[in-house]
Amino acid sequence: MAKKNLIKRILLSALFIFPFFFLGDFYLHFYSYITGNIITRLISGKWQIVVLNILLFAAFLIPLSFRRKAKWTEYGLVGAFFVSLFIEMYGIPLTVLFASKYFYSPSAPLPPNVLQFTLLNVGFGMDLAMAYGAVLIILGSILIMLGWITLFRNIKKSGLVTKSIYSYSRHPQYLGFILVIIGWFIGWPTILSFIFVPILIYKYVRVSLIEEKEVAAEFTEYQDYIKNVPFFV
């Protein structure tokens, strides 16, 4: 178990160290968004993309976990964040428009795209930092889906679920959501996301701690589970 956890932590550490090898690209990405210079490349008025992203995100919340009864008020803040994020990204980029009013410079360099594709007749381009954020989003989504599948397969069992993805992490779904949030923050680093992201990460850590107490009160074997499986990773 210790060797398995060590390998997992090394791989995750390598993933988070990656940006430090491309600091120039990541700095230019963040600078372009915070100052609004990215305004010339933004997608706007594409409401079909807004609706698609909101529907996909909503699907992840139905349900978030089978371990405890869903409390939808807990997800209101993260839901509001993602709805506003998608509207800004593909609808009306208010934050970037506001920043560009004061900091836009026609001669400012923009990060080069490393990936381009078309979806619903809309052309998309990703620079290195945005592509990296997309990797975090995909990884987080996989963790969320694996958590769903594991819990759904064991929903009729009365015992504690400790198999599959839950043998690697006690809260893989919450870890997945944190990775998704960080990924979107890197992909769309505006003042809005700078404010929301720390609050949302705190919220998911807090929910995880509350769930720990609830599950520990219901299952006496949970203490042994804690000794063998890390909180997140």
pLDDT (average), residues 203-222? 88
Q: Which residues contact 215 (CB under 8 A, 6 or more apart)?
A: 67, 68, 160, 222
Torsion of CA 96, 100, 104, 110, to 10 degrees: 10
pLDDT of 117 strictly over 70: yes
- Mean pLDDT on 10-31: 92
Are the beta carbons of 124 and 118 closer than 8 angstroms?
yes
In this structure, of 112-116, 119-123, 223-227, the range with the lowest mean pLDDT score is 119-123
> Above 70 in pLDDT, residue 2?
no
Q: Is the pLDDT of residue 106 over 90?
A: no
Higher pLDDT residue, 94 or 156? 94
* pLDDT over 90, % of the chain: 35
Distance CA 99, CA 30 (A): 13
**Does residue 215 or residue 127 have the better pLDDT?**
127
**Residue 143: predicted pLDDT:** 92
The tokens describing 206, both together, are: 């807090």
Torsion over CA: 200, 4, 22, 49 (sign)? negative
CA–CA distance, 201 with 117 (Å, rounded to integer): 30
Q: What are the tokens at 141?
A: 């989504």
Summarised one tens digit per residue, pLDDT across range 63-87 is 554 455 545 455 677 778 888 889 9
Among 8-12, 86-90, 147-151, the least confident range = 8-12
Contact 139, 133 (CB under 8 A): no
The answer, yes or no, to whether residue 223 has pLDDT greater than 80, is: yes
Does the pLDDT value for residue 53 go beyond 70?
A: yes
Computed over every residue of the chain, the mean pLDDT equals 86
pLDDT at 138: 94
Q: Look up residue 107 and give its amino acid.
A: S
Helices (H), the chain: 2-17, 23-34, 47-60, 76-90, 94-103, 128-153, 172-187, 191-218, 222-228
Burial of 107 (0-12, 13-18, 19+ CB in 10 A): exposed
pLDDT, position 66: 47
Determine the pLDDT at residue 37: 92
